[in-house]
Amino acid sequence: MALLLSNHVLKALQLTADDSIELLEGKLRELEPGFLDIIYSSTGHNELLNLAKNKREEIVEIFPAIISIENWLYHQLKINETVIGEIVHIPKEILADPPTDAETTLIRAWNSNQGKELLEKNEQKIKKEQIILIWTNAVNQLSLESRTAILSLLNVRKKIRSIVYQPPWLEKSTLTISKNSRLIEKSSAYSNLLTLAAQEESVRWRFLGFYRILERGYLNAVLDSINQTFFQAPKMSIGNAEKILSNEINQLVELVKNYQLKSFFEQFAQEVKNLKKNGNRYVTTLDREYDTDPRKKDFQGAFQKGAFLCYKVRCSIVHAGGSSLIFEHFEDGEEALLELVMPLEQAVLKYLDIDIQ
C-alpha cells in the first residue's frame, strides 16, 4: 500500500510513496522530538501514520499573523458538536511544545498542498508568527460573512497595525456556534456587524460596535414579546410594546430580560462601582448622571442599572441621548472602557449563541 503523504513530507522523512507503513513507523521512532518544530510526540506520530493511510478532505490556509504572541494558541471551531475548523497561532519564538491538538493540526497543515509554506526556505524549521486555519466540509453551514466574523473575534482576519484591547477569550480553546445562532440566518446583518466590531482597534469604537449588535436586536425582542403574549392579552401586549418602543433604554432592558443577559449587565454595574471606587473620573461622572436622571426610578435593579449605564456610555461616545457626558473630555475614559467592554462583549456573544470555553 502506497503512503498517501505529500511529496514534501516524504522528502523531509527521506521516504518515497512506495515505502511501507512499517518503514514510516521506524523513521518516526528515530526522529528527535520537535522535528521541524512540527512533530513532538507519539500523538503526532499517530496523526502522521493515519494521514499516510487515509486522505483527508480539508481546506487549509496559511498566512502571516497580525500580532506577535508569546505562546502557542489553539482554537477549535464548532457548530453544536460538529467541528468546522481549527486554528493555530505560531508564536514569535518556540520555547515550548505546542498543545497536543495544535500539534496534530500542524501536521495536517504540513501534509496539505500548502504545507511547504509552513517552513523556512531551508525547509529545516517552521516559520514563526504564522496562522494555520483548517476548515472541514461542515463549514459550509456558515456563510462567508459569518466565517469572517468568527475569525475576526479570534484576531485572525484584521486589517490593523496594532491592537489596544485583547479580549479574554483569545486564551480559550473552543468556540462553539449554536445551530440556532443568528450567524446562521440567511441575512448577513449580524455577521457583518460582528466583523466590524471585532476588527475595531480602538476600545471606544469597539464598545460602540458591540452595542450596535444589541441595537439590532431591539425590534426582535419586542416582536418576540408580542408573539408570546398577544393572544392571551392583546391589549396589554400592544401597550407593553408601545412602552418599550417609546425609548431606547426600555428596548435594551427588554432585550436583556428576554435573552438571559441579566448577569452581564449586573457585572457591568459592578465594574462601574469598582472603577468609581478607584477614582476613575469618567465613571464617577457617568454614575452621577444616573443618580440625577429622573428616569432612574424605573431602573433600580442591578441589571437595569447596568443596562442604563451601558446606554449612557454609548450616548457619551456618539454625543446623543441628551447626555452632557462627553467621552473625549475625560483622559481616563479609555481606561474605563477596557473594563466595561468585557461584559458587553460577553452579552453579545450570548445573544448570538456563541460560546467560547
- For the segment 205-258, what is each residue's pLDDT rounded down to a tens digit? 999 999 999 999 887 767 777 777 777 777 777 777 676 666 788 889 889 998
CA contacts within 13 A on the Cβ side of 109 = 30
For 239-244, the CB contacts below 8 A with 24+ separation are: none
Instruction: Assess contact for 333 and 275: CB atoms under 8 A.
Output: no
Residue type (1 letter), 115:
G
CA distances from 56 to 6, 90, 113, 303 (A): 12, 23, 12, 48
- Looking at 3-12, 101-110, 246-255, 300-309, which range is the least confident one? 246-255
Burial tier of 96 (Cβ tally within 10 Å: 0-12, 13-18, 19+): exposed
Give the whole-angstrom CA distance, residue 54 versus residue 49.
9
Indicate whether 155 pLDDT > 90.
no
Mean pLDDT for all residues in the chain: 89
**157: part of which helix (H) or strand (E)?**
none
Instruction: Assess contact for 208 and 346: CB atoms under 8 A.
Output: no
pLDDT in tens, 109-148: 999 998 888 888 777 788 999 999 999 999 999 999 999 9
What is the pTM for the complete model shown?
A: 0.85
Give the whole-angstrom CA distance, residue 171 versus residue 177.
18
Give the whole-angstrom CA distance, residue 136 versus residue 117.
20
* Percent of all residues in the chain with a pLDDT value above 90, rounded to a whole number: 62
| Grid-cell match 514569535, residue found | 92
Instruction: Assess contact for 303 and 321: CB atoms under 8 A.
Output: no
Give the whole-angstrom CA distance, residue 126 versus residue 253.
51
User: What are 244's three cell numbers?
Assistant: 418599550
Picking from 96, 123, 101, 343, the residue whose alpha carbon sits closest to that of residue 214 is 343
pLDDT in tens, 277-286: 999 999 999 9
